[in-house]
């Protein structure tokens, strides 16, 4: 005979209030994830659209968004990511976007950050290709391109200065200025002896592994 007394909490029936709390928490996590994905898309999309002049000119804009605006990384962390990315093949913009996106929101973040880097400019370029080809020789367009170049130079110089402060900190051990020595050797090898940059990077990686592993 079945009992007419309703089951109470703890008798094997889920507490509706507990289930509601779980659903609320899950909803908050989903909302937080979507917010992170949207901010990743806005950050990298905006920086890429304003990155006039190619890959290197985008890096200071990435740093501004990632470090200064959203605080996803410190300057040192961004510098380490930039150094690691430059040691790998491929465009630096997409490598940085994928890494930072993954750090912020996992694989979904990496996919969204990559999409933000590639899709807006690709769509815009495809849509405006004909117009750009017609206007590329126009005096006003040429003047705009020349006018923005000094601003790009300043942004890259500021990034180089910040990066140099991180890179050229004196190392410990018997060779306190080894990082500066690596930079000089790399410059001579690549610039004067026309050695492939890949060999210079491999040389720097090997020296760093041997002598800089214990340096924080």
Among 126, 145, 167, identify where a domain stops. 167
Could you give the CA distance from residue 106 to residue 100 in angstroms, rounded to a whole number? 9
Q: Are residues 190 and 85 in the same domain?
A: no
Q: What is the DSSP string of 142-208?
A: HHHHHHHHHHHHHHHHHHHHHHHHHHTSPPSSS-TTHHHHHHHHHHIIIIIS---HHHHHHHHHHHH
Q: Is the dihedral of CA 52, 54, 57, 58 positive or negative?
A: positive
Task: Report pLDDT digits (tens) over 103-112.
Answer: 999 999 999 9
Average pLDDT for the chain: 79
Task: Report pLDDT digits (tens) over 157-173.
Answer: 877 777 777 777 766 65
Q: What is the pLDDT of residue 25?
A: 74
pTM of this structure: 0.63
Could you give the CA distance from residue 46 to residue 40 in angstroms, rounded to a whole number? 10
Domain count for the chain: 2
Which residues on adjacent β-strands are paired with residue 9?
13
Task: Report pLDDT digits (tens) over 76-110.
Answer: 899 888 888 877 777 888 899 999 999 999 999 99
Task: Report pLDDT digits (tens) over 1-37.
Answer: 444 544 444 455 556 666 666 667 777 888 888 999 9
Q: Are residues 88 and 175 in the same domain?
A: no
Q: What is the pLDDT of residue 180?
A: 81
Q: Are residues 177 and 95 in the same domain?
A: no
End-to-end CA distance of the chain: 73
Q: Are residues 192 and 118 in the same domain?
A: no
């Amino acid at each position: 005979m079945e009992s007419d007394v309703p089951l109470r909490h703890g008798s094997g029936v889920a507490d509706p209030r507990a289930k509601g709390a779980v659903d609320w928490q899950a909803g908050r996590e989903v909302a937080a994830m979507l917010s992170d994905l949207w901010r990743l898309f806005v950050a990298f999309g905006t920086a890429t659209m304003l990155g006039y002049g190619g890959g290197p000119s985008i890096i200071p804009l990435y740093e501004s968004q990632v470090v200064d605006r959203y605080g996803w990384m410190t300057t040192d962390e961004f510098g380490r990511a930039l150094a690691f990315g430059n040691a790998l093949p491929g465009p630096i913009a997409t490598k940085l976007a994928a890494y930072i996106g993954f750090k912020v929101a996992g694989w979904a973040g990496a996919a969204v950050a990559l999409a933000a880097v590639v899709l807006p400019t690709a769509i815009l370029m495809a849509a405006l290709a004909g117009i750009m080809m017609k206007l590329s020789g126009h005096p006003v367009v040429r003047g705009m391109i020349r006018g923005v170049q000094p601003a790009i130079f300043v942004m890259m110089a500021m990034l180089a200065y910040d990066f140099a402060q991180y890179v050229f900190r004196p190392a410990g051990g018997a060779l306190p200025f080894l990082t500066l020595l690596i930079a000089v050797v790399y410059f001579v090898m690549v610039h004067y002896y026309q050695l492939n940059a890949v060999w210079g990077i491999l040389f720097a990686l090997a020296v760093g592994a041997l002598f800089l592993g214990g340096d924080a």
